[in-house]
Amino acid sequence: MHEEPVTDPPRGQVSSPDVDIPTFARVQLAHPVVQRIAEEAGVSLLHLKGPALLAGLRAPGRLSSDVDVLVQPDQFTTMEGALHDHGWERYSHVSSGSAFEHAANWWHPHWGYADLHARWPGATASPADTFSALSEESFLQPIAHYACPVPGRTAQLLVLLLHSARSPGYRDVELTWNEQSPQQRAAVIDLAGRIGGQVALAAALGHLEEHRGDPSYALWHFYRDGGGRLDEWRARYRAAPSPSGRWRVVVSAARVNRDHLRIELGRTPTRSDVLTAQLGRIGKLVRESARMARAHLRKRPAP
């Protein structure tokens, strides 16, 4: 990394809890706040997307709504503890955040939301190897006048492309791929191979069918074309890398996600809330199963 002058980020309370700070400004300020907390805790991380991007890699007018950071895996628990000590509240755990079990969502009444990433979706290499590869050309970039570590240009492009593979409304490959030089594209492909992100990259670029035999094909197909909840769970089951991973998928499919329920309700769910949601979840799985069975029967050739 090259060094830049480091100044203290804004810390403490906004002048009044009732101050209405625009989201884009809050995110700009929250990045250095999270970085300062990490430094005090001795944690290494990378700031991703939003104001952490190099000039020209973000579409005009696109603004971030939260802070995204990738944490060195063996320091993840330390960083969570540091956030908690500074008044942040965890809204979701890594295990319940998404199909990829990749991030925990934290919230602060003044700084807003921060996604603490243990891994980056689409990368199948170990979290430690992925963090190492994405850090190789990292440098310090000022965000709100505070130096924050960000990935190099190639890694930034790959992060955006892998994100677009699971975000249907975001797929802006014109900027992140079509406008890049052949040399830059080759570097992105090489880095994707090193972190096991070939299938996700292919999904982002419209080449997913080339990987039809890959266990994760169905999951990326779901993110590309959509489907019902049962389609998602079946895809997650196929993509799970181990028997224990597949068992976790089965358990998760049947169990109410309490983190999500809490966010929906805006409060801690009661036993009654959980029971109602659990019955609704089972009913939905039954209806989805019946729908898929009918679709399968319609496709069978007539005797």
21 plus 139 within the same structural domain: yes
In angstroms, the CA 79 to CA 76 distance is 5
The residue out of 124, 152, 180 marking a domain boundary is 152
Q: Residue 142 pairs with which residues in a beta bridge?
A: 147
Matching residue, tokens 């670029």: 205
Q: What pLDDT does residue 285 have? A: 64
Q: Residue 48 pairs with which residues in a beta bridge?
A: 68
The total of structural domains in the chain comes to: 2
Q: Does the structure show a pLDDT above 60 at 233?
A: yes
144 plus 15 within the same structural domain: yes
Matching residue, tokens 């049962």: 230
The C-alpha angle with vertex 154 and arms to 151 and 155, in degrees rounded to 5, equals 40
In angstroms, the CA 141 to CA 126 distance is 26
Per-residue confidence band for 8, with pLDDT thresholds at 50, 70 and 90: very low
Q: Does the structure show a pLDDT above 50 at 4?
A: no
Higher pLDDT, 254 or 155: 155
Matching residue, tokens 């039954």: 286
Torsion sign over Cα 181, 183, 188, 193: positive
Please state the rounded mean pLDDT for residues 109-129. Answer: 93
Q: Residue 174 pairs with which residues in a beta bridge?
A: none
Record the tokens describing residue 49, joined without a space.
């997307």
Per-residue confidence band for 166, with pLDDT thresholds at 50, 70 and 90: confident
Contact in structure between 257 and 269 (CB atoms under 8 Å): no
Residue 281: Cβ within 10 Å count: 17
Length of the chain: 303
Residue 122 inside a domain? The answer is yes
Residue 38 inside a domain? The answer is yes
Q: Does the structure show a pLDDT above 90 at 84?
A: yes
Q: What pLDDT does residue 96 have? A: 56
Q: What pLDDT does residue 242 have? A: 72
What are the φ and ψ backbone dihedral angles of 291, each rounded to 5 degrees?
Answer: -60, -45
pLDDT tens string 31-45: 999 999 999 999 999
Per-residue confidence band for 10, with pLDDT thresholds at 50, 70 and 90: very low
Please state the rounded mean pLDDT for residues 8-15. Answer: 38
Residue 121: Cβ within 10 Å count: 21
Residue 33: name the closest of 76, 87, 71 by CA. Answer: 87
List the domain range (segments joined by +) for residue 34: 1-152
Identity of residue 299: K
Per-residue confidence band for 14, with pLDDT thresholds at 50, 70 and 90: very low
Record the tokens describing residue 121, joined without a space.
């979706």
End-to-end Cα separation, the chain, in angstroms: 68
Higher pLDDT, 279 or 209: 209
Residue 57 inside a domain? The answer is yes
Q: What pLDDT does residue 260 have? A: 62
Q: What pLDDT does residue 161 have? A: 95
Contact in structure between 93 and 104 (CB atoms under 8 Å): yes
290 plus 143 within the same structural domain: no
1 plus 147 within the same structural domain: yes
Higher pLDDT, 289 or 218: 218
Contact in structure between 201 and 189 (CB atoms under 8 Å): yes
Q: What pLDDT does residue 238 have? A: 76
CATH of residue 31 = 3.30.460.40
CA atoms within 13 A on the CB side of 100: 21
144 plus 266 within the same structural domain: no
Share above pLDDT 70 across residues of the chain, in percent, rounded to a whole number:
73
Higher pLDDT, 196 or 283: 196
Identity of residue 185: R
Contact in structure between 161 and 177 (CB atoms under 8 Å): yes
12 plus 138 within the same structural domain: yes
